[in-house]
């Protein structure tokens, strides 16, 4: 059966004249669709969803909007426009022309970087599989599905690279991306955070705020890569990623706004009273922040990393916005780290800057998260509330890096495991918190209506009203 590739798979990689790639995709695409049916959003496959689809890389009009059934979504393959004069922006190859093919000596490293990134994309779809059943509005339901189909497209983007540049082992890795599953005992997803189920919408907004933002920083680092097809692929993915984070930060702002309204109505900030009023009290939201922020920080990797140094040296993975730095070789600079000495004290350590790339990126991430917390705190202050959100210390609750397994308080001061256990329910969502949040998760399916725990968005999607029927249930 002949497939019109330009029509079926929107692309700017000249798919219709690339027989090798077509053959690989012919094999992979049906398997992807099976995976989508089995592991993608449950129950809504025949609903009409108002979705954005990437159809070109034109900045002015790269996407089209229409009501489509998700299995008929056109998952396309797009790379940002090629700059034929592009050179390495950092590392030992600095200033030389970038690679259009994979150099033999970096083949397995590049493949691993692509597979690790690619694995997170379908993983998040699997994690969010059941959320559609409890969406607080049709607007939010559409937001969830938009994120899901675009994470599906990000998987396509990585699979394209594997198929087009890595031959047989690339094709095998592409198959494996559909075989590992989030939370599976035998074949889990590669990174830990992507194996935790997301079963409530507060967690979904936390995930799109904190975890997708880690994704943004990883994509920005890979968008600097000297392997040009990878850089261009990631650059285009960033345009879609921005909307995922928008869903996260506006979602959390709306939850906060609703809580403030209930506080005002009831003239109290007593958490129990707020809960009885049907909203989520601010301290509970703070505990979710503590959980998801610390979990996202692990995704950046160890503070001191010889892998990161090697990626930087070889020009495979750079720093986000590498152009903003003065020194692109980072050879003679050092980076100061605070490390636990094992006896409860903290010592200073100097490491070569190249080894500290994960930590440098993590610090930029923390600053960006803080900007949004400041905004929400303004919102609280304007409403007359005393509470302020804060990010815990990056040392808090870490599982990866020099602080892994070290018990600290929210300020990052080392404490005993007993002291940590005693405060755990003050700092992290308790079983009671989680069951309370779960108790609010009731679907609202009337256009324009919102669940009682979340305020409506300021505006709708693509200039449509908030009350538009964004998902028409079959």
In angstroms, what is the minimal distance from the CB of 348 to Fe ion?
A: 36
The stretch near Fe ion (CB under 5 A) out of 242-250, 254-262, 419-427, 437-445 is 242-250
- Calpha distance 148→205 (Å, rounded): 13
Comparing CB distances to Fe ion, the nearer of 244 and 395 is 244
Q: Two tokens at 394?
A: 């990056």
Separation of alpha carbons 104 and 97, rounded Å = 17
**Residue closer to Fe ion, measured from CB, 238 or 273:** 238
Minimum distance, C-beta of residue 153 to Fe ion, in the bound complex (Å): 8
Which of 52, 180, 244, 397 is in the footprint of Fe ion by CB under 5 A? 244
Chosen residue from 212, 214, 224, 359 binding Fe ion by CB under 5 A: 212
257 binds Fe ion (CB under 5 A): no
Span from 129-137, 153-161, 261-269, 291-299 in contact with Fe ion (CB under 5 A): 153-161
Min dist CB 279 to Fe ion, Å, is 27
| Dihedral pair phi/psi, residue 64, rounded to 5° | -120, 155
Stretch that binds Fe ion, among 109-117, 238-246, 327-335, 390-398 (CB under 5 A): 238-246
Q: What is the DSSP letter of 104?
A: G
Closer residue to Fe ion, CB minimum distance, 229 or 401: 229
Strand partners, 335: 351
Phi, psi of 77 (to 5 degrees): -125, 110
CB count within 10 Å of CB 303 equals 24
Q: What are the residues whose beta carbons fall under 8 Å from the beta carbon of 386, sequence distance 6 or more? A: 269
Q: Is 189 in the site for Fe ion (CB under 5 A)?
A: no
Q: Does 180 bind Fe ion (CB under 5 A)?
A: no
In this structure, the chain runs to a length of: 474
Residue 336's H or E segment, with its range, is: strand 334-340
Q: From CA 204, how far away is CA 213, in angstroms rounded?
A: 13
* Gap between the Cα atoms of 468 and 460, Å rounded: 8
Using CB under 5 A as the criterion, what x/- string covers residues 98-137 for binding Fe ion?
Answer: -----------------------x----------------
Q: Please, what is the minimum distance in Å from the beta carbon of residue 67 to Fe ion? A: 22
Question: CA 218 to CA 228: how far, in whole Å?
Answer: 16
Stretch that binds Fe ion, among 63-71, 146-154, 385-393, 398-406 (CB under 5 A): 146-154
Interaction between residue 254 and Fe ion (CB under 5 A)? no
In the complex with Fe ion, the residue whose CB is nearer, 154 or 249, is 154
Nearest-approach distance from CB 25 to Fe ion, in angstroms: 20
Exposure on the CB side of residue 210, measured as CA atoms within 13 A: 26
Nearer to Fe ion, 241 or 281 (CB): 241
- In the chain the first and final C-alpha atoms are separated, in Å, by 30
| From 129-137, 144-152, 193-201, 386-394, span contacting Fe ion (CB under 5 A) | 144-152
**Residue 154 sits in the site that holds Fe ion (CB under 5 A):** yes
Nearest Cα to Cα of residue 397 among 247, 192, 190: 192
HSE, side-chain direction, 13 A CA sphere, residue 231: 25
Angle between helix axes 107-127 and 167-179 (nearest 10 degrees) is 20
Is 249 an interacting residue with respect to Fe ion (CB under 5 A)? no
Minimal distance, residue 296 CB to Fe ion, in Å: 12
Residue closer to Fe ion (CB basis): 124 or 259: 124
Work out whether 214 is an interface residue with Fe ion (CB under 5 A).
no
Binding region for Fe ion (CB under 5 A) = 121, 151, 154, 212, 241, 244
């Amino acid at each position: 059966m002949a497939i019109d590739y330009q029509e079926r798979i929107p692309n700017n990689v000249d798919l219709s004249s690339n027989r090798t790639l077509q053959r690989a995709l012919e094999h992979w695409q049906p398997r992807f669709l099976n995976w989508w049916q089995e592991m993608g959003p449950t129950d809504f496959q025949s609903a009409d969803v108002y979705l954005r689809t990437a159809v070109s890389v034109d900045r002015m009009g790269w996407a089209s909007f229409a009501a489509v059934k998700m299995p008929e979504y056109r998952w396309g393959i797009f790379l940002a426009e090629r700059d034929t004069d592009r050179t390495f922006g950092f590392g030992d190859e600095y200033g030389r022309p970038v690679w259009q093919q994979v150099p033999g000596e970096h083949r397995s490293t590049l493949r691993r970087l692509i597979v690790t990134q690619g694995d997170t994309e379908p993983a998040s779809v699997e994690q969010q599989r059941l959320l559609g059943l409890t969406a607080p509005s049709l607007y939010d339901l559409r937001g969830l599905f938009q994120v899901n189909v675009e994470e599906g497209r990000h998987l396509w983007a990585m699979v394209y690279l594997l198929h087009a540049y890595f031959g047989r082992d690339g094709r095998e890795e592409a198959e494996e991306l559909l075989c590992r599953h989030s939370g599976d005992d035998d074949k889990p997803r590669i990174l830990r955070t992507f194996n935790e189920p997301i079963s409530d919408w507060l967690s979904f907004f936390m995930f799109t705020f904190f975890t997708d933002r880690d994704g943004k920083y990883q994509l920005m680092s890979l968008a600097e890569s000297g392997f040009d097809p990878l850089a261009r692929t990631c650059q285009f993915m960033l345009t879609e990623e921005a909307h995922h984070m928008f869903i996260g930060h506006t979602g959390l702002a709306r939850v906060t706004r609703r809580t403030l309204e209930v506080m005002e109505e009831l003239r109290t900030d007593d958490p129990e009273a707020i809960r009885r009023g049907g909203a989520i009290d601010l301290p509970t939201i703070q505990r979710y922040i503590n959980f998801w922020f610390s979990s996202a920080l692990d995704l950046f990797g160890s503070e001191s990393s010889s892998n990161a140094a090697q990626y930087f040296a070889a020009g495979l993975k750079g720093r986000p916005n590498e152009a903003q730095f003065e020194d692109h070789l980072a050879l003679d600079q050092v980076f100061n780290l605070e490390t636990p000495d094992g006896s409860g004290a903290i010592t200073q350590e100097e490491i070569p800057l190249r080894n500290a790339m994960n930590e440098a990126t993590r610090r930029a991430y923390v600053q960006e998260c803080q900007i949004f917390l400041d905004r929400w705190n303004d919102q609280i202050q304007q409403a007359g509330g005393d509470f302020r959100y804060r990010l815990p210390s990056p040392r808090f609750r870490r599982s990866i890096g020099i602080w892994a397994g070290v018990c600290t308080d929210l300020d990052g001061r080392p404490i005993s495991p007993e002291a940590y256990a005693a405060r755990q329910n003050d700092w992290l969502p308790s079983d009671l918190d989680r069951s309370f949040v779960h108790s609010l998760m009731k679907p609202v399916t009337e256009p324009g209506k919102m669940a009682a725990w979340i305020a409506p968005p300021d505006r709708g999607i693509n200039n449509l009203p908030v009350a538009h029927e964004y998902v028409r249930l079959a």
